[in-house]
Amino acid sequence: MAKKIWKFLSSMRFAIILLLILAAACAGGSFIPQGQSFETYVSTYSERTAALILALRLDDVFHSWWFLLLGLFLCGNLLLCNLLRLKPLVARTRAMGQMPEGEEAGLQAETAQDPAPVFSAMGMRPKERSRNEVRVLYAVRNRAGIWGAWVCHLGILLLILGFGLGQMTHQEYTVYGVPGQRLPVGDTGLSLTIEDFQVALREDDTVEQYTAQVVLENPQGQVQRGTLSVNHPATLFGLRCYQNSTGWAARVRITEDGASLQDQVLCAGEGLRFQDKPELVLFFHAFYPDYVLIPGSGPATQSGKLNNPAYLYSLHYGEQMLGMNVLQNGEAITVDGYEVRFSEPQNYTLIQLKKDRFSWLALVGALVTLAGLVLAFYLQPARLWAEQTSEGWRLFAQSPKGGALFRERFQSAVQNLKEE
């Protein structure tokens, strides 16, 4: 019984079953929104379905215990397959270098001429040997091709391990702000200062590139500088820093009787709580560089240029919204004796900082898998030998892969030799 279980766990059938389940799980993880609340799932599906989603961890498929367990089983299956096939493959590789008896060959032919042109046509260089006092020419090529599937399995195993360990241990942080701001990077103790940020536009006002100059400082006061742009990250203190996206920000000034109370930069989507009256909150919803009001539709922008800046805001007192409106440059709103003004619109940059300790393992796995595919599909193991007889030569050829093409090539080479 134990032997049957062991055989099944190391079989290709088990690997296919695991791959089908993992594919179904990935499809489910793509179809079902991840990381949502119970109420969200209830509103989308039903209460029973929402409970089932949470119970089966379908709200976080790729980090669920059963998904990781399936991945471990797949890794174990690949490892067992490779270990069980290692000894037979070594034996096959050695056998390819040994000259078999003629009757073991897959292809045979006879010729009275020197067989050297056949070896040349097959891309082989023969070595002269002697067997039972008979002169023999023997050649073998691409023995490494036997290892193609084995190497490919090893690469997939390393790739899965690298990705899985990376997902379990990776760190990821998001920082956004405008030039001049110094921002903490999560719980790392690092701080990021944005020295400069530029948005390059094309003639049609679409974005061509984002470029940020940043400084990362560790708790010991050491600093590292880098330039980030889309698809061109930088590595600072072991963190991979990516220029992710951008948006609009503006300076918000709150005064009372002419005295400045608050003055800070607010990014679109953020809120500001009044210091003297914390239950009063200002939300900055959106910015319109070239503001226009479209009847029946609402505020919009005609272009990306700062021709007519306008700011969409809302004011809240506790849980009650006092109002929402658009404020243009130079205009102010007054509430409870406070005066609020927006000014100095500028782009903010959103930067992602990631650290994956096992990305190298995934890269090695990808390279090993690629090497395995090259071995499997581009290196055709083959051997060719010729025995001298009193009438001429007997030719033998053998290839465990690509038999039809190999046969045609061998027969063509022999035919060409006879016609010379």
Q: Is the pLDDT of residue 104 over 60?
A: no
Mean pLDDT over 158-169 rounds to 84
Residue 221 token pair: 């006061």
* pLDDT above 70 coverage of the chain, percent: 98
Under the banding of pLDDT at 50, 70 and 90, the label for residue 183 is: very high
Q: According to the per-residue pLDDT averaged within each range, which of 53-62, 95-104, 307-316 is highest?
A: 307-316
Q: Is the pLDDT of residue 295 over 70?
A: yes
- The model's pTM is 0.65
- Check if the beta carbon of residue 337 is closer than 8 Å to that of residue 257: yes
Mean pLDDT over 368-389 rounds to 89
Mean pLDDT over 108-117 rounds to 86
Mean pLDDT over 361-380 rounds to 92
Tell which wins on pLDDT, 107 or 43.
107
Tell which wins on pLDDT, 175 or 167.
175
Q: Is the pLDDT of residue 102 over 60?
A: no
Label each residue of the chain as H, E or C. CHHHHHHHHCCHHHHHHHHHHHHHHHHHHHHCCCCCCHHHHHHHCCHHHHHHHHHCCHHHHHHCHHHHHHHHHHHHHHHHHHHHHHHHHHHHHHHHCCCCCHHHCCEEEEECCCCHHHHHHCCCCCEEEEECCEEEEEEEECHHHHHHHHHHHHHHHHHHHHHHHHHHHCEEEEEEECCCCEEECCCCCCEEEEEEEEEEECCCCCEEEEEEEEEEECCCCCEEEEEEECCECEEECCEEEEEEEEEEEEEEEEEECCEEEEEEEEECCCEEECCCCCCEEEEEEEEECEEEEECCCEEEECCCCCCECEEEEEEEECCEEEEEEEEECCCEEEECCEEEEEEEEEEEEEEEEEECCCHHHHHHHHHHHHHHHHHHHHCCCEEEEEEECCCCEEEEEECCCCHHHHHHHHHHHHHHHHHC
Distance (Å, whole) CA 407 – CA 384: 12
Q: According to the per-residue pLDDT averaged within each range, which of 36-50, 61-75, 104-118, 227-241 is highest?
A: 227-241
Tell which wins on pLDDT, 96 or 242.
242
What per-residue confidence (pLDDT) applies to 283?
A: 93
Distance (Å, whole) CA 287 – CA 313: 9
- Check if the beta carbon of residue 285 is closer than 8 Å to that of residue 269: yes
Q: What are phi and psi of 317, to 5 degrees?
A: -125, 105
Averaged pLDDT of the chain: 87
pLDDT, tens only, 129-144: 777 778 888 898 888 8
What per-residue confidence (pLDDT) applies to 329?
A: 83
Tell which wins on pLDDT, 98 or 161.
161
What per-residue confidence (pLDDT) applies to 212?
A: 94
Distance (Å, whole) CA 372 – CA 367: 9
Mean pLDDT over 167-176 rounds to 85
What per-residue confidence (pLDDT) applies to 402?
A: 65
Domains and CATH numbers, the chain: 2-67 (no CATH), 104-138+380-419 (3.30.160)
What per-residue confidence (pLDDT) applies to 182?
A: 93
Under the banding of pLDDT at 50, 70 and 90, the label for residue 1 is: low
What per-residue confidence (pLDDT) applies to 108?
A: 85
Mean pLDDT over 161-170 rounds to 82
Mean pLDDT over 377-395 rounds to 87
pLDDT, tens only, 253-282: 999 888 889 999 999 989 999 988 889 999
What per-residue confidence (pLDDT) applies to 105?
A: 60
Residue 382 token pair: 């083959």
Under the banding of pLDDT at 50, 70 and 90, the label for residue 101 is: low
